[in-house]
Amino acid sequence: MGKKKTFSTYVDEDRIKDLKHLAVDTDKSLGNLLAEAIADLVAKYNKESE
């Protein structure tokens, strides 16, 4: 993973609440969960384009 940089966007309130609950349940930070989700999404679309 490279240098970290701030990235902001608008997210539905219900998804934020879900993410916060998931962070507590998994003992992970919101940032780590988002980074994991982004990596999974990029991998998914890279596989589809092969």
- Residue 28 resides in a domain: yes
Residues 2-48 pLDDT 10s: 898 998 999 999 999 999 999 999 999 999 999 999 999 999 999 98
pTM: 0.82
pLDDT of residue 30: 95
pLDDT of residue 1: 65
Question: How far apart, in whole angstroms, are the C-alpha atoms of residue 25 and residue 36?
Answer: 15
How many structural domains does the chain have? 1
- Residue 2 resides in a domain: no
> Which residue bears the tokens 């998931």?
22
Residue (of 50, 8, 47) closest to 30 by Cα position: 8
pLDDT of residue 2: 83
- Residue 3 resides in a domain: no
Report residue 35 as tokens: 């980074």
- Residue 38 resides in a domain: yes
Residues 8-18 pLDDT 10s: 999 999 999 99
Domain that holds residue 44: 13-48
